[in-house]
Structure 1
Amino acid sequence: MSLIAVTRKEYLDSIRSYTLIGLIALFVVFTTFLAGIQWIPNMSGVSANGDVNTLAFLNSMRQPALYLVPLVGIMVGYKAIAGERSSGSIRLILGLPNTRREIFFGKLFGQTAVVSTAILIGYGAAALVALVTYDSFALIEFGLYTLLTLLYALACVSIAIGFSASTKSRARALAGAVAVYSVILIFWDVITALLQTAIIGYEVPVGEQPAWLAIFSSLNPSTAFAHTARAVLPEYREISQFPYIETNIWVDWYGFIVLALWIVIPVTIGYVCFSRADIE
């Protein structure tokens, strides 16, 4: 069994277990509903200056990207390896002519393909809504934002696979996945605000945020994803705002570096742990 075979098996297993169908339904319902709203947030009381249709569509896609993609990516990936180890089926897989490297990366690529398929179909359904109901449709911006979402999904799946490969307990992998999701979407901003209040004060004058605060805030993968969108799509700046990023030390293109680190580091740690683990 080769890397391609393991990847294919992961993908087909998701179809047989109706996981992929459920994810597709979830993304289609969520994205089409939000795309139909056509709402543009009013940032700090300043009216948006970009194309109304483009801004509305990007804002609609922002919600599933920031909240649904990490949830799906983490919940799908956490059990990929830990589930096999806890059930004992990992011994059967290792008994076939393949290596741990092929198993690890086959799981990673397979689960990423599952999440990516759900995203592409869900976003495609949202694009159809936009074509029918919007006055115009920003095809290029939509395509670029979809590619960035797939990159973000890879980062989320990588984090989950890293946890899954680092433990033989499915419960521990799930706990780690829940903790990561909570930190990414809830506690990171809270921690940033607490650090600011404790070290600097409750209010910091605009333009005087220390560099370390801007960097720490931007290391969040969801924030890094937003920065990549701001770097590639100027319109995205109209619907996104970062109160801590008021320093010249940070530019939006650094978001790609942060996302790359969230892919490479968990994958490296997970692979090293799995390659050295005693399979019982």
Structure 2
Amino acid sequence: MSLVAVTRKEYLDSIRSYTLIGLVGLFVTFTVFLAGIQWIPNLPGVSVSGDTNTLALLNSMRQPSLYLVPLVGIMVGYKAIAGERSSGSIRLILGLPNTRGEIFFGKLLGQTAVVSTAILVGYGAAALVALISYDSFALVEFGLYTLLTLLYALACVSIALGFSASTRSRTRALAGAITVYSVILIFWDGITALLQTATVGYTVPAGEQPAWLSVVYGLNPSTAFANAARAVLPEYREITRFTYIETNIWVDWYGFIVLGLWIVIPIAIGYFCFSKSDIE
């Protein structure tokens, strides 16, 4: 076996267990439904340029995607290695000519491929609906947004796999991944808002946010994903305002750096723990 073989096995296992089929169905249903909802938020003083139909679709998909993609990534990735250790099948895999690195990164690539396939099929279905039914549709811009979503998915799978590789228990891996999901998507903004209220007040004029607080807001991977989209798609920037991080110290393309950190750090920690652990 090799890295390619482990990756292929992960992908084929997801097909045999109907995981991939279920995820594809979920994303197709989700995106096709949203393709029929065209809404541009009313932003006083902002004139929206670009293809309004495409912006409407991206706006409809933005918030649900921020929550659905991490949820899918975590549910797919948390059991990748911890599940093998709980069942004892990890000993069989290691008994084949595999290194731990091949197993770890094969799992990462395989699980990411599963989530990416679901996203690509789902977003492709939405694009098809848009091309057929919209008066105009910016396919290139939508394609760029889709690629950014794949990067966001990789970060989410990396977080889940990091927990999966750091423990031998599926329950602990799931608990850790759910905790991170909750902190990132439910509690992060609330905690940061409390810090803001305690340090500078409840309301802060745009552009006057302390630099350190803007950095805390920007380190959230979901915010980083939105910032990366704003950096690549100037029109998208017009419908997504982040007044709380609009300071001289923070620019949109930093979102790529933050997403990169959320990919590299969990992978590094997970691989280190897995490479040093005793397999019983």
Q: TM-score, normalised by structure 2?
A: 0.97
Contact 1:50 1:238 in 2 (8 A): no
Kindly provide the CA deviation profile for residues 5-55 of structure 1, in whole angstroms up to 9, marking residues without a partner as x: 000000000000000000000000001101111112223575634431121
1:73 partner amino acid: G
**Identity level (%):** 84
1:241 partner amino acid: R
2:165 partner amino acid: A
- Indicate the SS of the match to 1:79: coil
Contact 1:38 1:60 in 2 (8 A): yes
Kindly provide the CA deviation profile for residues 32-89 of structure 1, in whole angstroms up to 9, marking residues without a partner as x: 1011111122235756344311211211332343111111011100000001111111
Q: Distance in 2 between matches of 1:143 and 1:66?
A: 17
Kindly provide the CA deviation profile for residues 231-264 of structure 1, in whole angstroms up to 9, marking residues without a partner as x: 0001111221112112110000110000000000
Q: Distance in 2 between matches of 1:66 and 1:173?
A: 22
2:34 is equivalent to residue 34 of structure 1: yes
Matches within 5 A, 1:86-165: 86-165=86-165
Q: Distance in 2 between matches of 1:183 and 1:246?
A: 23
- Indicate the SS of the match to 2:201: coil
- What is aligned with 2:222? 222
- What is aligned with 2:257? 257
Q: Distance in 2 between matches of 1:43 and 1:167?
A: 47
2:191 is equivalent to residue 183 of structure 1: no
Measured after TM superposition, the shift of residue 224 of structure 1 is 0.3
Q: Which runs of 5+ in 1 are unaligned?
A: none
Contact 1:108 1:158 in 2 (8 A): yes
- What is aligned with 2:234? 234
Q: Distance in 2 between matches of 1:33 and 1:41?
A: 18
1:128 partner amino acid: L
Matches within 5 A, 1:174-213: 174-213=174-213
Contact 2:51 2:136 in 1 (8 A): no
Q: Distance in 2 between matches of 1:64 and 1:9?
A: 30
Moved more, 239-248 or 210-219: 239-248
Q: What is the RMSD computed on CA atoms of the aligned residues?
A: 1.2
Measured after TM superposition, the shift of residue 129 of structure 1 is 1.0
- What is aligned with 1:51? 51
2:15 partner amino acid: I
2:95 is equivalent to residue 71 of structure 1: no
Measured after TM superposition, the shift of residue 227 of structure 1 is 0.4
Q: Distance in 2 between matches of 1:148 and 1:214?
A: 22
Contact 1:38 1:57 in 2 (8 A): yes
Measured after TM superposition, the shift of residue 2 of structure 1 is 0.2
Contact 1:158 1:266 in 2 (8 A): yes
Q: TM-score, normalised by structure 1?
A: 0.97
Q: Distance in 2 between matches of 1:64 and 1:135?
A: 24
Kindly provide the CA deviation profile for residues 97-126 of structure 1, in whole angstroms up to 9, marking residues without a partner as x: 101000000000000000000000000000
Q: Which runs of 5+ in 2 are unaligned?
A: none
Q: Distance in 2 between matches of 1:79 and 1:179?
A: 15
Contact 1:43 1:241 in 2 (8 A): no
Moved more, 235-244 or 249-258: 235-244
- Indicate the SS of the match to 1:80: coil
Tell me the number of residue pairs that the alignment of Structure 1 and Structure 2 aligns: 280
Q: Distance in 1 between matches of 2:152 and 2:145?
A: 10
